[in-house]
A and B are shown apart, each in its own frame.
Chain A
Amino acid sequence: MASLTLPKHSIPSLLPTQTVSPRHSLFSHNLPIVSNSSQSQFYGLKVSYSSSLSIPSSSSVKGSIFAKVNKGTAPPSFTLKDQDGRNVSLSKFKGKPVVVYFYPADETPGCTKQACAFRDSYEKFKKAGAQVVGISGDDPSSHKAFAKKYRLPFTLLSDEGNKVRKDWGVPSDLFGTLPGRQTYVLDKNGVVQLIYNNQFQPEKHIDETLKLLQSL
């Protein structure tokens, strides 16, 4: 049976226009358990929305709703297929910093910009000793074509069914209609040191993550 425990700072500090209003409770009978750092920044409008809000309150809900990733925590492990169909686990990246970026879909303008920006700055990431991993709900063949077309030198993983996205609590945009664009930087111990969210300025993910990596 699912039960909800709220951390102390459970009321998110939203922009003045956004409060935990009755309208929100129409979508969920629970308070959104979203921390400041993972608020979705749809440009000009912060929408704090965890994808876990769409899970009904039946007793079949599994415990993964609570595996919410915050700064300073180690995210839950996963094993996903890469663009070549090989299984890749998060633990493979331990020992080096890793940038894990969740994006909506291959072959969309924002995601293409973001992937190409990571590609173009890849040497800087390598210099900082970091690896880059992109995750979306597309299948391996879509990732393979996307990576080939844009000559992406890093791993793309298929989170089919968006299970890892939900496990990590990546917030959705636009009232749950669009998968959020959120990037995590994990240090060499696998602990999250940065969470950056920005749906419509994808190149900023590269700037922000590099800034953090250079200080690690």
Chain B
Amino acid sequence: MITSPPNRHILNDPSLRSTCAHRAWLACGCTTVVISLAKAIMGAAKSYIWLGPILAGLVGYILADLMSGVYHWVIDNYGSASTPIFGDQIDAFQGHHEQPWAITRRQFANNLHALARAVTFTVLPMDLVVNDPIFHAFVAVWSGCLLFSQQFHAWAHTTKSRLPPLVIALQDMGLLVSRSQHAGHHIPPYNNNYCIVSGVWNEFLNKRQIFKALEMILFYKLGVRPRSWSEPSSS
């Protein structure tokens, strides 16, 4: 279990500000997504076939939500601050449980740069090697949703009065994860509502207790306990 200082962040904390490196990674990530999207649109326009790319984009949107939940579940429950590669993120996710408001104070690139970096490395090769519009429609939407999932997450922590009307509308329509749905994750032991793109998978994953089943399997096979088992339960 990670022990952490009682007050990780203060208002105007420098660690919440964007640096040049953050902005550079964000720019790279966005560029790769835009290239993919452009390939999808140009390919569809050239062939006059739009249905395939549109459906592929929809699949990408739905899959991104599921993947955001799986990743969130893993990072919330396993590893520690000293885990290679992922340690900083694991620590940040724990810090987020302690101070959920801090994400709304993070500057844009600061919040998204880690995802942007992952998207750059994943999508750039695809941009260079593949031209198929259906493939790129899937990739553009899937990677775009994952890249911006931290922004959707931040909006889910923002009070209504501070949100743009469009964001509120998208949350109310269920197209972006809503404030109330994500609040369900922030109740100890923090073991549900892990998806943060649209949240469309949350109800199914909660009801079918998918993550609890995976936790049991991992414990039984590997002896690894998830952090949520050690959190005080609200029930």
A interface with B by C-beta (< 8 Å): 42-45, 104-105, 108-110, 173-174, 177-179, 199-200
Stretch in contact with the other chain, from B120-128, B162-170, B217-225: B217-225
Contact A174 B213 (CB under 8 A): yes
Within 8 Å of chain A (Cβ to Cβ): is B46? no
Set B207, B216, B217: member contacting A110, Cβ < 8 A: B216
- Docked Cα-Cα span, A173 to B208, in Å, equals 13
- Seed contacts A43-B208, A108-B219, A200-B209; 10 additional CB < 8 Å A-B pairs: A43-B207, A104-B216, A105-B219, A108-B216, A110-B212, A177-B221, A178-B213, A178-B217, A179-B220, A200-B212
Q: B216, B220, B229 — which one has the most chain A CB atoms within 10 A of its CB?
A: B216
- Docked Cα-Cα span, A42 to B216, in Å, equals 13
A38 to chain B, nearest CB (A): 19
Query: For chain A, what secondary structure do more than half of its interface residues adopt (helix, strand, loop), or is it mixed?
Result: loop
Q: Which residues of chain A are within 8 angstroms of B208 by Cβ–Cβ distance?
A: 43-45
Q: Which residues of chain A are within 8 angstroms of B212 by Cβ–Cβ distance?
A: 109-110, 200
Contact A108 B207 (CB under 8 A): no
B82 to chain A, nearest CB (A): 24
Q: Which residues of chain B are within 8 angstroms of A173 by Cβ–Cβ distance?
A: 213
Give me 10 A-to-B residue pairs in the complex whose CB atoms sit less than 8 angstroms apart, sorted by A's number: A42-B213, A105-B220, A108-B229, A110-B216, A178-B213, A178-B216, A178-B217, A178-B220, A199-B213, A200-B209
B229 to chain A, nearest CB (A): 6
Set A43, A104, A200: member contacting B220, Cβ < 8 A: A104
- Docked Cα-Cα span, A43 to B213, in Å, equals 10
- Docked Cα-Cα span, A105 to B208, in Å, equals 20
B76 to chain A, nearest CB (A): 15
A204 to chain B, nearest CB (A): 14
Contact A44 B207 (CB under 8 A): yes
> Contact flags (1/0) for B198-233 with A, using CB distance below 8 Å?
000000000111001100110111000000010000
Residue on A with the closest CB to B219? A108
Contact A109 B209 (CB under 8 A): no
Contact B229 A200 (CB under 8 A): no
Q: Which residues of chain A are within 8 angstroms of B209 by Cβ–Cβ distance?
A: 43, 200
A171 to chain B, nearest CB (A): 15
A182 to chain B, nearest CB (A): 15
Residue on B with the closest CB to A200? B209
- Docked Cα-Cα span, A153 to B229, in Å, equals 24
Q: Which residues of chain A are within 8 angstroms of B220 by Cβ–Cβ distance?
A: 104-105, 177-179
- Docked Cα-Cα span, A179 to B221, in Å, equals 11
- Docked Cα-Cα span, A179 to B209, in Å, equals 16
Q: A44, A45, A109, A173 — which one has the most chain B CB atoms within 10 A of its CB?
A: A109
**Given A43-B209, A44-B207: A177 touches B217 (CB 8 Å cut-off):** yes
Q: Which residues of chain A are within 8 angstroms of B221 by Cβ–Cβ distance?
A: 177
B78 to chain A, nearest CB (A): 16
- Docked Cα-Cα span, A204 to B229, in Å, equals 21
Q: Which residues of chain B are within 8 angstroms of A108 by Cβ–Cβ distance?
A: 216, 219, 229
- Docked Cα-Cα span, A45 to B217, in Å, equals 17
Q: Which residues of chain B are within 8 angstroms of A43 by Cβ–Cβ distance?
A: 207-209
Q: Which residues of chain B are within 8 angstroms of A178 by Cβ–Cβ distance?
A: 213, 216-217, 220
Q: Which residues of chain A are within 8 angstroms of B217 by Cβ–Cβ distance?
A: 174, 177-178
Q: Which residues of chain B are within 8 angstroms of A109 by Cβ–Cβ distance?
A: 212, 229
Shortest 3 CB-CB contacts between residues of A and residues of B: A200-B209, A177-B217, A178-B216
Residue on A with the closest CB to B233? A109
- Docked Cα-Cα span, A199 to B210, in Å, equals 12
B219 to chain A, nearest CB (A): 6
- Docked Cα-Cα span, A105 to B229, in Å, equals 14
Q: Which residues of chain B are within 8 angstroms of A44 by Cβ–Cβ distance?
A: 207-208
Q: Which residues of chain B are within 8 angstroms of A199 by Cβ–Cβ distance?
A: 213
